[in-house]
Structure 1
Amino acid sequence: MKKELKHLIVIMLLSLGFVSCHDDLDQSPIDPDSFTEEDVFANATEAKGALAKLYASLALTGQQGPSGQADIADIDEGFSQYSRMLFNLNELTTDHAVVGWGDAGLPDLHGQYWSGSNDFSEAMYYRLAQEVSFCNSFIGNAAALTDAEVSNFIAEARFLRAFAYYNLMDLFGSVPLVTEVTTDLPSQASRTELFNFVESELLAIQGELKPGRSNEYGRVDEVAAWALLSKLYLNAEVWTGSARYTDCVTYSNNVINSGYSINMNDANGNGTAYDELFLADNDTNGAQDEFIFALNFDGLRSQTYGGTTFLVHAAIGGSMDATEFGVNGGWAGIRTTKNLVEKFAANIDDLNAALGTQSDWGLVGDGTPNGWDGPDTEMFQTGSNQFGLYVDLTDGFMKFRFNEDWGNNYGDDDPQDGALENGGGNIPVTAGTYYITLDLNALTYTITPFTADKRGMFYSDGQNLEIESIPPFENGYAVTKFKNVDSDGFQGSDAAGDFVDSDLPLIRLAEIYLNYAEATVRGGGGDLGLATMKINELRERATGGAFANISSGDITLDFILDERSKELYWEGQRRTDLIRYDYFTTDAYLWPFKGNEPAGTSVSSFRNLFPLPTSIITVNPNLSQNEGY
């Protein structure tokens, strides 16, 4: 599936009541080497190729490659890829991202002032409607085949259709519910009816999908159905008015016990196994054991300007070196706000308290918190004549001193050698958070940059934390989460550096851990001790140790929301989460340029939904526009 997605001429499209956006889909193929509908469903082998198209429709954008023969008309083909639009609608509209590009309709998203004719919400509707149509056609045609494995194919197609409706329900609310190819104009289904349909489909196919971990990489199994049910039930109160947290706990628990596992393989040896999830070899480096449903990309065989190619290139700008990310250049577009960055700030007091007993040895200097006049910033004894301290420094100098006594101090005459001299020279330091050690037995010291939570992957050199205006790119920290290099540091398969190999998880086990915890706190009857253990599993991976572990008393709803932000940022989840917490449109939580105000402001609650495309409403009188548009 990852390496070969069979080229198919797509059968006639009818997506949720609108005729195909491009006329060639309504014609017979003229290429004699192309498959006709009869060929595609001649047997199970050919049907598997058609199934590949259903997966590819979420990853790719057309029939030719990165551009040409696009599936969706009237929008740049690269813009139209599913996960790129999911980023635009579910991340760019939140505290997780801003974009400096001025394409019509794009700045509106972060500013939360989009209109009913926004190109990006419209293209997302078309993309998901197309996926429903492809799935409907596949299900109808494959039903005529008697091969045993075709029942698995049909169950996968039903999952993908349910996934498309899950997205449509989340983003647009009430949309037509169509389960077979028809020329009739469909009626609009309520959000509750859509919810019930998605639920019933997932419950029906769970036993028809292959058992967990037994399908080919990139194809869904029964655990994917459980995971999507977990997500569905977590949001049920928003979408239907009825809480289903007990069901969320049940299906989250099914996933937790399914055989999928959190990746703990630090393949590149950088102190955390989190970044492996987003590298070019994440289909083989251990990350694949965590991926329940992922979009597969290959820099040579499945090229697109969306997907992870977008997430890598668009996040590079300013003084960043694109070669470190395995690509040939940056697009200087997307970065993040201080709200996300500050969620990763370490609690230095807690870290220091865990080191040991406070001592009389400390730091002094204009680079330290109390300057040259002191008092010293005291270190903690970690062993015999050994001391440590987590500290925020500024640009300047420092020395080690005992009990505020200049008669007993150490500096370094050669700051390159890490050796101390009694009364030695001032030690230069630069701004940042550090872990500093002092060893009086060996008369050595270390000053090590410290990031407690290594999930926070940002580039700050030349970037401003505060966003005073959008653009330029330098306003806002850059995000370095996605890379087109493998665990050994080698570039992905496209030697030109244009297209990226990294797969993109849409559902992974870590999210289900957090679903379980939230549903438990919201009254779903789960085990808070288990929730705590699973969150600590994620935090230990993030920090490389148990020093940041929490107790069950620390788990509140806001704590879980922050954990979701730190674990899942830029993976297409944030808007949905903020709506569930009633933070997306209200003034209960603000971020830079929310509501198009530099400091952030509330917006009307109707923006919890995107508008139905104006073109759809024009051709189908059965549809009503969402309130406010």
Structure 2
Amino acid sequence: MKRYSLKYLQLSGLTLSLLLGSCNLDELHHSSVTPETFFTSKESTYAVLARPFTHWRWFIGADRWYLQELTTDAMTCPQRAEDWYNGGEYFRLQYHTWNPDDRFVENTYNGVGGGIARTMSAKEDLEALDYSTVGMTEQDKADQVQQLEALIAWFYMRGLDFFGGMPIYESTQDELRPRSTAQETFDHIEALLKKAIPNLKKKTQLGAFEDGYIRQGAAAAMLAQLYFNAEAYTGQDRFSECAAISQDIIDGVYGVYELDNTWWGPHGFDNDRSPEVIWAAPSKGGGTTETAWNWYWRYFYHQESSKYFGGATGNGAPYNGFMLSPSRKPTGEVYTEFKVGNPYEKFHDLDLRKKPFVYTGNRNYEGMFLVGAQTNPITGESTMGTKLYKGEILNLVDVVAPFKELNSKYGGDVSKLPSNIQVGEENSGVRLVKVPQPNLADQQLQFDPDCPVVRLTEIYYMLAECKFRAGDAETAATLINTVRKRNFANRVDPDPVTADNLDKYRMLDEWLIEFLGEGRRRTDLIRWNAFTTEKWWDHEPTDKTRNLFPIPYSAISANGLLTPNPGYGGNQ
């Protein structure tokens, strides 16, 4: 990698103050190149612009996903015999008993700070450049600089969502600062986005290639998201502002987008050209390291799932970890004692997405889940158990229970089997295949789908929820149904949303099934005051302080001006 700015040597102080204790900045500490000698072409400006977007692509997966999904009614990671205890860290996510030194929390806080610092430094380099010297215009400069302004806002918004008020910095030269309030952080994000939006380029061609950079529609969507969750962030209702921006996005004010005709279009192998995708992290298959999805393969699927998928081997054998939270008791009955959760059973049986995933060749596939007997209906190849179910065709069930101990410990009485995060087995749980997997013949496509960060369906759903909250349930239902119909054969929905059946829980269910596994469930539950108040599988209501994660000990050690969040020690 080319090292392009001495100023990156100045990042460490800011980075530590935002966070940051353990962010790896080694790659930034070798430069003898100055901005004056580096900026020699248009391409060199994009090299600087791209660096913080690389960090952003890393940030949207792994630990951040765990905090958004494994803490909720949507996903879980049970212990499977000797596997997946991991010092109890996944138990703590399930039960909301995480600590300030848990690695998922620390890595996320570090990632927020590192993102802000890297983006701010790149912005300062570009602001100092005379773009005419590399054959570019002031409009080009405004677009690049304001993309970085919007990206700074996005990182601050993730910090606000995860941790509350953040230290606010205006420059990489700033001294250590204490945390600002949630309202002050909100106001800072709002100001950054309002400044950026009019200076960004619009998408002008429907279905044009999405490259991961920020266009006007993406920044407008960020501002809508900020207003959408404002009540949870600051106590101030801003749903009307969210509705106005969402309607403008749908109407094309910020660029041309439209809903995809198929449910799989925004997620498939060619989703970089889906008309629905507003902002996505690029991912490149073919065994490269430029992928947004390799962690997904490793953590969701069984060690032998490549056989079911048709021979594609991914980046090594998966770990057989994550799964949908179970919808059924060991007896086979669907849980009825929870108003949220039961994700697989929340899909209607006629929903095309509920089919088992099968890759049919030539970039085509059907279904969104690994469920039932894991024998590929095209190839006849089967995923075989390797531990408790060794020698048996793996049958993935929507249940967590120690079935192999049914006779030895529970007298053959299935009603006595426990179901909790400690008693998972090799076959426990339905697995999500939101990212399609090719067969061996098309393995170069593996991990090639981009990772959608903002898509037009989210805008429709935000507007629908805002309408519902304003008392217009009929319009809200129409907006949701506009999306839902593509999930059924001949676009005939057997269970449409209506003004009569739409309530808090139906709205949460619609968010759940449409955005399952897309790294947002915790935020949706918090917005409806459900994250710490509702029951779901193996989870009881917790304290409202768990709506925020703790400030890591390492961050407080690095910046003594930081204070803990309520409920995690220190000043309450």
Q: Calculate the TM-score normalised by the size of structure 1.
A: 0.69
Counterpart contact for 1:233–1:247, Cα < 8 Å? yes
Q: CA deviation at 1:244?
A: 0.5
Per-residue CA deviation, residues 158-182 of structure 1 (Å, 9 max, x unaligned), is: 1111110110000001221112102
Match of 1:420 in 2: none
Instruction: Give the structure with the higher percent helix.
Output: 2
Task: Structure 1: state its 5+ residue gaps.
Answer: 1-5, 61-80, 265-272, 349-431, 434-453, 594-599
Aligned match for 2:485, one of 540, 549, 556: 540
Cα deviation for residue 313 of structure 1 reads 3.3
Q: Aligned residue for 2:266?
A: 277
Output the CA distance in 1 between the equivalents of 2:90 and 2:344: 23
Match of 2:280 in 1: 294
Regions of 4+ moved over 6 Å? none
CA distance 1:584–1:19, shift in 2 (3 Å): closer
- Is 1:327 matched up with 2:313? yes
- Note closer, same or farther for the CA distance 1:295–1:203 as it changes in structure 2 (3 Å cut): same
CA 551–345 in structure 1, closer or farther in 2 if over 3 Å, else same: closer
Instruction: Name the Cα RMSD after superposition.
Output: 2.9
Tell me, which stretches of 5 or more residues in structure 2 are unaligned? 132-137, 327-341, 356-365, 374-394, 401-418
In the other structure, the counterpart of 1:54 is 52
Q: Distance in 1 between matches of 2:25 and 2:515?
A: 39
Partner of 1:27: 29
Contact 1:206 1:225 (C-alpha < 8 Å) held by counterparts: yes
Which residue matches 2:124?
A: 140
Q: Distance in 1 between matches of 2:268 and 2:34?
A: 38
Q: What is the CA-CA distance between 1:131 and the residue it aligns to?
A: 0.9
Which shows bigger deviation, 243-252 or 473-482? Answer: 473-482
2:551 to 612, 617, 629: 612
Match of 1:419 in 2: none
Say which structure is richer in strand.
1
Of 336, 339, 344, 1:341 maps to: 344
Deviations 1:85-137 (A, max 9, x none): 22111001111111243334344222321111111111111112111001111
Over 3 Å counting, the alpha-carbon distance change for 1:300 and 1:51 in structure 2 is: farther
| Distance in 2 separating the partners of 1:341 and 1:229 | 32
Q: Is the 8 A contact 1:50 1:138 kept in 2?
A: yes
Partner of residue 183 from structure 2, selected from 192, 205, 223: 192
Match of 1:151 in 2: 142
Per-residue deviation, residues 280-331 of structure 1 (Å, max 9, x unmatched): 33224xxx31111111111248516x83222233221177445627434432
Return the match for 1:479 from 410, 429, 432. Answer: 432
Aligned match of 2:456: 509
**Secondary structure at the counterpart of residue 278 of structure 1:** coil
> TM-score w.r.t. structure 2 length?
0.76
d(CA) in 2 for partners of 1:282, 1:603: 39
Which has the higher Rg, Structure 1 or Structure 2? 1
**Structure 2 match to 1:552:** 499
Counterpart residue number, 1:624: 563
Equivalent residue number for residue 493 of structure 1: 444
Cα deviations by residue, 1:172-194 (Å, 9 ceiling, x for unpaired): 01221112102511121111111
Q: Which amino acid is the alignment partner of residue 459 of structure 1?
A: V
Q: Which amino acid aligns with 1:602?
A: P
- The answer to whether the Cα contact below 8 Å between 2:468 and 2:476 also exists between their aligned partners in 1 is no
Which of 71, 76, 80 does residue 98 from structure 1 map onto?
76
Partner-residue secondary structure (3-state), 1:189? coil
Identity of aligned residues (%): 26
Q: CA deviation at 1:563?
A: 0.6
Amino acid at match of 2:117: S
> CA–CA distance in 1 between the matches of 2:213 and 2:260?
19
Distance 1:346 1:625, change over 3 A: same
Could you give the per-residue CA deviations for residues 562-585 of structure 1, whole angstroms, max 9, x where no partner exists?
A: 111000011011000111111111
In terms of mean alpha carbon deviation, does 81-90 or 290-299 score higher? 81-90
SS state of the match for residue 507, structure 1?
Answer: strand
Q: How does 1:106-505 map to 2 (within 5 A)?
A: 106-147=90-131, 148=138, 149-182=140-173, 184-213=175-204, 217-258=211-252, 259-264=256-261, 273-284=262-273, 288-300=274-286, 303=289, 307-317=292-302, 320-322=305-307, 324=309, 326-328=312-314, 329-338=317-326, 339-346=342-349, 457-461=369-373, 462-467=395-400, 468=419, 469-470=421-422, 471-485=424-438, 491-493=442-444, 500-505=447-452
Aligned residue pair count: 470
* Separation in 2, partners of 1:229, 1:591: 31
In structure 2, give the amino acid aligned to 1:283.
D
Distance change >3 Å, CA 276–CA 330, structure 1 → 2: farther
